[in-house]
Amino acid sequence: MRTLKITVSYDGTNYSGWQRQRNAPSVQQTLEEAWQTITGETLTITGSGRTDAGVHARGQVCSLVTQSKLDCSSLLRAVNANSPTDVSILSAVEAPADFNAISHAVQKTYQYYIQSGRIMDPLKERYAWFVSHHLDLDAMREGAAYLVGELDFKSFQAAGSTRLSTVRNVIACDVAMAKRGPFEDVTVTITANGFLYNMVRNIVGTLVPIGRQRKPPDWIQWVLDQKDRKIAGQTAPAHGLFMDHVVYRDDDLG
């Protein structure tokens, strides 16, 4: 038996999310079926995070245990050849026997894309939330600063979630803007030791009213203090969210 670490990129538009669903296609199912076609094995591929329907990934990290004798390069090529073009394995490496993509992760980074301004870029429609207003970047950055640290993010957890603890350590929360002619590309990048369900999308949906100058930057602190999802901003649409990369405690895994 061998344990492998694979890194996967996917366009989440046509999927119900990472995790297998009974009546809808998922990324996990797509990869597991491709693997079975090649090796004959029925196995579980464990993803570092269960991205939701419509969410994309640049660097979703997965672990699996296989009996296949094929080398990593051959497996990578074969799985990609038997997968849809919107899912690709970027790398496959041998890992220690106990490697687990979820429990061994120490940091995750997500990026959320907003296309702001008065004119929508049609080429960004599938990958960014169009906000038809100019956004105050400095105000959003000031608001984002309140989110850095080991804090209780209960106000930013999706209603109905049942996590035992809602405390997470946000290492960085950065807001950047690039202008392209009439278009304004805003990127919110958040790195943390872990995330609650819909936490990033709820944070972005709370930063946008600050960018529109409807709320002051210190509203973020008040929202944190209330520990109540109902008083935070909206949940930003799924299609603007990308799982960017995952950091592991075992650096030798690549």
Q: How would residue 102 be classed by pLDDT, with cut points 50, 70 and 90?
A: very high
Cα distance between residue 46 and residue 18, in whole Å: 10
At 251 the pLDDT is 54
pLDDT for the residue 1: 92
Specify the pLDDT at position 120: 92
Catalytic residue among 11, 52, 71, 185: 52
| Tens-place pLDDT, residues 113-123 | 999 999 999 99
Residue 113 identity: Y
| Distance, CA of 104 to CA of 55 (rounded, Å) | 23
Question: For the chain, which domains are there?
Answer: 2-103 (3.30.70.580), 106-245 (3.30.70.660)
What are the tens digits of pLDDT across the range 36-92?
A: 999 999 999 999 998 999 999 999 999 999 999 999 999 999 999 999 999 999 999
138 is catalytic: no
- The average confidence (pLDDT) of the chain is 95
Q: How confident is the model at residue 254 (pLDDT cuts 50, 70, 90)?
A: very low
pLDDT in tens, 169-205: 999 999 999 999 999 999 999 999 999 999 999 999 9
Q: Is 195 left (phi over 0), alpha (psi -120 to 50) or beta?
A: beta
pLDDT of the residue at 232: 97
User: What is the residue-wise DSSP string for 172-184?
Assistant: EEEEEEEEETTEE
DSSP for 231-242, please give it.
GS-PPPPGGGEE
Residue-level pLDDT at 252:
46
Please give the model's pTM, rounded to 2 decimal places.
0.94
Please say whether the beta carbons of 147 and 170 come within 8 A: yes
Q: Please state which of the ranges 125-129, 133-137, 191-195, 249-253 shows the lowest mean pLDDT.
A: 249-253
| Strand residue runs (E) in 125-166 | 129-131, 149-152
Instruction: Give the C-alpha separation, 4 to 2, whole Å.
Output: 6
| Predicted local distance difference test score (pLDDT) of residue 240 | 98
pLDDT at 250: 67
Cα 227 to Cα 53: distance, rounded to the nearest angstrom: 26
- Which of 128, 107, 127 minimizes the C-alpha distance to 117? 128
pLDDT of residue 5: 96
In the prediction, which pLDDT does 160 show?
74
**Predicted local distance difference test score (pLDDT) of residue 163:** 76
DSSP class of 102: T
Task: Decide: residue 73, CB within 10 A, 0-12 exposed, 13-18 middle, 19+ buried.
Answer: exposed
Taking alpha carbons only, the member of 237, 208, 243, 238 closest to residue 111 is: 243
- Could you tell me the pLDDT band of residue 159, with boundaries at 50, 70 and 90? confident
In this prediction, residue 195 carries a pLDDT of 95
* Antiparallel, parallel or unpaired: β 56-66 and 241-248: parallel
Angstrom CA distances, 106 to 57, 101, 153, 247, stand at 18, 10, 18, 6
